[in-house]
Amino acid sequence: MTMQRTNFADLLAPGMRKIFQNMFNLYPSGIEQIYNMATSKHEYETDSYVSGFGLIPTKSEGAAVTYDDIIQGLDTEYNFDTYSLAYRITREMWEDERYGAINRMPAALGRSMRITIETDGANQFNRAFNTNYTGADGLCLLNSSHTLLGGGTQKNTLSSAADLSMSSLEQCMVDIAETTDDRGLTLHLIPQKLIVPVELEWTARKILQSGSDPDNANDQYNPAKGSLQLVVNHFLTDADAFFIECSEHFMYWFWRVRPDHYRDNDFDTDDAKFKVRARWKRAWSMPWGVFGSPGV
């Protein structure tokens, strides 16, 4: 029976899509360990924040209550990017196929999409100290002088860059504990994850999993043991940089269209055409809840 060119892509589609999805899902998702995940049904998303109130003053008997105003913060707009790539299968290639090349094409596309997603997700940290990549306040994610709405500045990086060690991790934890909101009230951020590149995995494990302080020869108790969840991200590019993420943070990943495998037919050539397409945006609305050092 002669196949019609109008259903050639439809004939191949179920198998191609299954291969694509199998390869795409083969790798664990790293972005879900880093971001607050959300789905959007709109053209774009906007995240705005305002300051809280300051400390509440005492009120004397018969005196008027004190009024305070919240301060409008900056807006972060999430405008979605579209990612898409395609391949095509000729009718002759399908008729003469003997070496599995057709099956490798959707598998390769699935792998490319997964790695693209993970690379973009890790770039939030890869560019965290790069002043060419800024947030709503005009500063990079990890900076020593983020502006507070109530006046003054605040840091979410070490005053002096340091490599990962017991002492540098301790200083990070102290600085995180001292982080305040825009009106000077302590945020009580809870450090949750230590995020490192593969080059720092062993160093991080020694710090977080050793019973004794790895930097002390006197077999002293290790206060860092079990204090943070270790996240090793294979797409971090700086071998010295390390990051701490708190249980509350403001890094968001919005899905507008999740990755999927589409098909079409080319009338003139008899080719079957397939593509993957997705839309998403990742950014940060406020810098608090993320801390790090670029290393030295």
C-alpha–C-alpha distance, residues 230 and 205, integer Å: 8
C-alpha–C-alpha distance, residues 149 and 71, integer Å: 7
What pLDDT score does 219 carry? Answer: 67
**Per DSSP, which regions of 61-155 are E strands?**
72-79, 81-89, 146-147, 153-154
What pLDDT score does 7 carry? Answer: 57
**What's the domain range around 227?**
146-252+286-293
pLDDT in tens, 73-92: 888 999 999 999 998 888 88
In a domain, 202, yes or no: yes
Q: Report the pLDDT averaged over residues 189-213.
A: 94
In a domain, 172, yes or no: yes
CA distances from 73 to 137, 147, 221, 240, 282 (A): 9, 10, 44, 33, 20
In a domain, 17, yes or no: no
CATH number of the domain residue 247 falls in: 3.30.2320
In a domain, 103, yes or no: no
In a domain, 185, yes or no: yes
pLDDT in tens, 20-29: 888 888 888 8
pLDDT at 3 over 50: no
In a domain, 227, yes or no: yes
Number of domains into which the chain is organized: 1
% of the chain surpassing 70 pLDDT: 93
CA distances from 107 to 19, 20, 103, 118 (A): 6, 5, 7, 17
